[in-house]
Chains A and B, each alone.
Chain A
Amino acid sequence: MTRTFSKIELLLIAISALLLIVVVPALNAMGMISDYSINLWGKYLCYAILAISVDLLWGYTGLLSLGQALFFSLGGYMMGMYLMLMIGKLGQYKSDLPDFMVFLGHTFLPSFWKPFYSPLFAGAMVLLVPGLLACVFGYLAFRSRIKGVYFSILTQALTYGAALMFFRNDMTMGGNNGFTDFRFILGADIRSPETKRALFIATAVAIVAVFVGCRWLTRTKFGLVQRAIRDSEVRVLFSGYAAANYKLFVFVVSGLIASISGALFVPQVGIINPGEMETTKSLEAVVWVAVGGRGTLIGPIIGAIGVNWMKSWATQAYPDLWLIILGGMFVVIVLFLPKGIVGLLGKLLGLFGKPNTVIDESTAPHETEAAKS
């Protein structure tokens, strides 16, 4: 704990960053990686960022939030509002208003939509809206010491309520169809290979930044308190720490990370609708983390990419069985591999007598929980 980053680690991070930010896009520009793959991997990276946000809460602080999909889609919606306005008169109805508004008989733009012509404002809202929501909800929840499964159930209810709201047409957020048919982002054609490459680079930069930021945060004293809260909140309280404030901070930070990933996700897939807000989406993100290995930062990335890659393959090869595979995999992982793939790898490495720095960070929370009950 003397140095935040070891030399090897720094080197590995630098190599992966170089690979993601420079090499892959360059290969794409030279035509060695298809535009489709770049787009697909951009999506996977967004999921990976979302998974990190889940892990920061669940793996490091012991808070299983089922509301991350909400923050993810809020970020997506804020970006989507900007993109909708950028369509301009190119929509089906040749109107300045987004198509769904014309369809619903609106004659003017609702006032809260107007500032979204500015990409800067939209960017600020990507951070502000989910941040504020996380602040208010987190404050209320942690103040009344809602924890454990109660916290999960409440965040689930919050997400459910928000999804119901976004499904409504008079919310003027597109109802069930949400936003789609985007044309331009920052003046560039959103469907051109160059824009897709740029979006991939942006996502790659984001994931590297998030990874480094979280790595730094979890290695500071703050991170230590965070893990202490996970392992025994009462002891933290008795030691004089305001656990609620720590939890609130982590909740807001991870909400922001989820929101950013959503904002990057929407221009790449070209659609956002309330379906993204359902609790199952939050739970899916939790699956990625569980599969990859919680309590580590590399685990969620491996899990998100691995599970989604498998999903792309299985939904084509065995469309009927995909949910059974996913559910079954989840049960097996929870029962037999509580530390996920990373834990399994660690164990295998441990057999060869190599010390592993990743594992000591994630003292399995359930062992301590077992001790206290």
Chain B
Amino acid sequence: MSAFSANTPRQTIVAAILEEDDAKKAALISSLSGNASADIAPLMAAWKEDAIYLFKTPEDKVIPVLLAEEKDANGKQTAILVEDASPLKDATGQPVRILASDLDAAAHDSNLRGVMKGVLDLQALANPNPAKRILAIGTLGMAQDPDKLPALLSRQSVETDHATNRAFREAIALIQLKDESPDTRLKALVELKSLASLASYDFVKAALAEASAPPENPAIAAAARDAILSIDSHRVTVNTLGTCFRGLSLGSILLLVALGLAITFGLMGVINMAHGEIMVVGAYATFVVQAIFGEGLDISPFGFHLPIPGMHLSGAKLDAYFLVALPVAFLSAAAVGIALERTVIQFLYRRPLESLLATWGVSLVLQQLFRLVFGANNVQVYSPAWLSGNWTINDIIFGWNRVFVIGFTIAVVALVWVILNRTSLGLLIRAVMQNRQMAACMGVPTERVNMLTFGLGSGLAGLAGAFLSQIGNVGPSLGQSYIVDCFMTVVVGGVGSIAGTVLSALAIGVTDQSLQQYLGNPVLGKILVLVAIIAFLQWRPAGLFVTKSRSLEG
């Protein structure tokens, strides 16, 4: 059998396995370069993992086979031909079942593995998924192997995707950076400069070092310096914009949590230390909804066993759980909030300090209840596919969950504004906020307004909890880690002012992220933010936006 007579990739691989001569073996494998067949990658992987076995027929003919996954009682597996993926049959036409330990695996050495990797690398350049293509191109560029240059150039000429094309240019320039001719190197540097490619930073630095050492090449050194400058300035832009984006998304989360607090605090002068725990109610509600859509859940509060059956959905239907979880989180948190208002807070309207203490007691009770019902450990909430990806635009990563939370927060703030300013409930709320006694005299049912407002504020916290479950794990003490930040947001914004809360949440979010980025240390950044807030309150003790009042002790 002539080595090159084989025509399908499978046949070529069979030929390569059976070939005795190392050089010819390698040549056979390399001949697969540029072949887009989907069979190649799994077969080569199997070969590398010693999963291709050599089956000897009674006539002493060697046949390369794979073994099917399922084993029978004796541990035997069906043999599958490498040549055409059909089951191996014996003379009587029955499928052959064999024990893996009875067979030898097809041999391979490091040289051969290298050749296989080369083939796979090049094949990845033709992967239909652009993201995978870009990854493969990046890997090739980093390796700076001149042998891969022709393949890259040929694939680039047929590439239509803009981002992938950019990756090609970057990889080609990186490889050309190793070229012997100074002119090519110079061209490569100019190309890298125009691309401002972050990945090539270290390579350009190396090129600069090489050009500065004897024998010196001033032109290349200058070009490398130019490229480094361009990359640096690009990096600053990327970092700044990325920080702003992360700051905005952090600010949005803070805003979602603090908005409810601002409403209850501003309206009723009540400090709700259990606000964080009400948020956690929303997070756990999301967890439970997810479990109902998925595999179900067993909880055993106080020794009672309470199984919650699941619907065992998958794919897009499972992902839709989050849309159901949002209203559920809102309603369950609002229900807890209203219950809290009716049982505890309504007795404490004129005693803010006492309300702080009593609600702290409630927060302890709630935390312990979470522990008893859902366990002391964090639970993981699965993110729907449409929240877990990201866009990379100009090297800045925009996570979909963060984009979504920003958009959602805008919607919620708009909705709250509409409720407060365009509905009759909003009118009543504002009336009570401005002058409770006068409103009561005019026939405003202040008790009912209090209850509804508290429900609204708590529901907003529940929504925030649903989002936090997408960003991190959910645990009984999740609320505690947000409550201080939240109070700060409300205090800085000015009590009872929605606009102030929006501004201060965004300002705190962006400042926090920038300081973290600048100092490279999250804790120090947080401390500085706290110090900055204390300093800010020296300047504006009542926050950004002060509700005007003639009361002396307002």
Query: What are the residues of chain B within 8 A of A327 when measuring CB–CB?
Result: 360-365, 368
A355 lies within 8 A of chain B by Cβ: no
Known: A323-B367, A327-B361, A329-B361. A161 touches B353 (CB 8 A): no
Indicate with 1 or 0, residue by residue over A221-246, a CB within 8 angstroms of chain B CB atoms: 00000000000011000000000000
Tell me if A144 and B360 are in contact (CB < 8 A): no
Closest CB in chain B relative to A352 CB, distance in Å? 29
Q: Is the pair A158, B530 in contact by a Cβ cutoff of 8 Å? A: yes
CA distance A32 to B184 in the complex (A): 94
Taking CB atoms, residues of chain A closer than 8 Å to B365 are: 323-324, 327-328, 331
Q: Which of A157, A161, A234, A369 contacts B487 (CB 8 A)?
A: A157
Question: Is B130's beta carbon under 8 Å from chain A?
Answer: no
Check B347 for interface membership: any CB of A closer than 8 A: yes
The interface residues of chain B lying within 8 Å CB-to-CB of A252 are none
Q: Are B353 and A323 in contact (CB under 8 A)?
A: no
Cβ proximity bits A15-45 to B, threshold 8 Å, 1 near / 0 not: 0000000000000000000000000000000
- Mask, A336-373, CB within 8 Å of B = 1, is 00100000000000000000000000000010011011
User: C-beta contact mask, B260-280 vs A, less than 8 Å → 1, else 0?
Assistant: 000000000101000000000
A160 at the interface (CB under 8 A from B): yes
Contact between chains at B537 and A334 (CB < 8 Å): no
Q: Is the CB of A154 within 8 A of B537?
A: yes
Q: Does B191 contact A (CB under 8 A)?
A: no
Let me know if B364 and A324 touch, CB within 8 A.
Answer: yes
Tell me if B534 is interfacial: C-beta within 8 Å of chain A: yes
Minimum Cβ distance to chain B for residue A373 (Å): 5
User: Are A335 and B347 CB-contacts (below 8 A) given A149-B352, A160-B484?
Assistant: yes
Tell me which of A99-107, A163-171, A209-217, A264-272 binds B: A163-171
Q: Does B533 contact A (CB under 8 A)?
A: yes
Contact with B along A132-150 (1 / 0, CB 8 A): 0000010011011110111
Bound CA–CA A74/B552 (angstroms): 37
- Tell me, in angstroms, the Cα distance from A372 to B437 when the chains sit together: 12
Count residues of B near A (Cβ-Cβ below 8 Å).
Answer: 42
Question: A153-B488, A153-B491 in contact; A323/B534 too (CB < 8 A)?
Answer: no
B358 at the interface (CB under 8 A from A): yes
A53 in contact (CB, < 8 A): no
> In this complex, which of B347, B358, B360, B533 has the most chain A Cβ atoms within 10 angstroms of its Cβ?
B360
From the candidates B361, B488, B541, name the one contacting A144 in the complex (CB within 8 A): B541
- Does A320 touch B at the CB level, under 8 Å? yes
Are B360 and A366 closer than 8 Å at their CB atoms?
Answer: no
| Residues of chain B within 8 A of A149, CB atoms compared | 271, 352-353, 356
A-B contact count (CB 8 A): 126
By a CB distance below 8 angstroms, the chain B residues around A323 are 364-365, 367-368
Choose one: B350, B358, B369, B538; the contact of A335 (CB below 8 Å).
B358
Complex contact A64–B368 (CB within 8 A)? no
Is the CB–CB distance between B361 and A157 below 8 Å? no
Give the distance in Å from the alpha carbon of A323 to the alpha carbon of B365 in the complex. 6
B553 at the interface (CB under 8 A from A): yes
A143 to B491, Cβ gap below 8 A?
A: no
Inter-subunit contact A331/B530 (CB<8 Å) = no
Q: Is the CB of A148 within 8 A of B347?
A: no
Asked whether B348 is an interface residue with its Cβ less than 8 Å from the other chain, the reply is yes
B372 interface residue (CB < 8 Å to A)? yes
**For the complex, what is the distance from the CA of A143 to the CA of B537, rounded to whole Å?**
10
**Closest B residue to A364 using CB positions:** B351
Interface flags for B261-302 (1: CB within 8 Å of A; 0: not) read 000000001010000000000000000000000000000000
Let me know if A51 is at the binding interface, CB within 8 A. Answer: no
Contacts of A145 in B (CB 8 A): 541
Q: How far is the CA of A254 from the CA of B212 in the complex (A)?
A: 66
Inter-chain contact A157/B358, CB cutoff 8 Å: no
Question: Is B531 close to A, CB under 8 A?
Answer: yes
Q: Let me know if B350 and A369 touch, CB within 8 A.
A: yes
The residue among B351, B369, B372, B526 with the most chain A CB atoms within 10 A of its own CB is B351
The smallest beta-carbon distance between B494 and chain A, in angstroms, is 11
A290 CB–B CB distance under 8 Å: yes
Q: Are A234 and B523 in contact (CB under 8 A)?
A: no
List of B residues within 8 angstroms of A157 by Cβ: 484, 487-488, 530, 533-534
Query: At the interface, yes or no: A273 with Cβ under 8 Å from chain B?
Result: no
Known pairs A327-B361, A334-B357; A370 contacts B350 (CB<8 A): yes
Residues on the A chain within 8 Å of B418, using CB = none
**Cα–Cα distance between A144 and B531 once the two chains are bound (Å):** 15
Q: A164-B526, A320-B372 are in contact. Are A366 and B354 (CB under 8 A)?
A: yes
Among residues 98 to 112 in chain B, which have CB atoms less than 8 Å away from a CB atom of chain A? Answer: none
Asked if A326 is at the interface of the complex by the 8 Å CB criterion, the answer is yes
Most chain A CB within 10 A, of B350, B356, B488, is at: B356
CA distance A253 to B551 in the complex (A): 32
A165, B367: Cα distance in complex, Å:
25
15 interchain pairs (CB within 8 A)? A137-B534, A152-B271, A152-B353, A160-B484, A164-B526, A164-B527, A320-B368, A320-B372, A321-B368, A323-B364, A327-B368, A330-B364, A331-B362, A338-B354, A369-B350
Enumerate the 8 nearest inter-chain pairs by beta-carbon distance, A residue then B residue, closest first: A330-B361, A327-B364, A327-B365, A323-B368, A327-B361, A161-B530, A334-B358, A144-B541
Mark B residues whose CB is within 8 Å of A.
Answer: 269, 271, 344, 347-348, 350-354, 356-358, 360-365, 367-369, 371-372, 484, 487-488, 491, 523-524, 526-527, 530-531, 533-534, 537-538, 541, 551-553
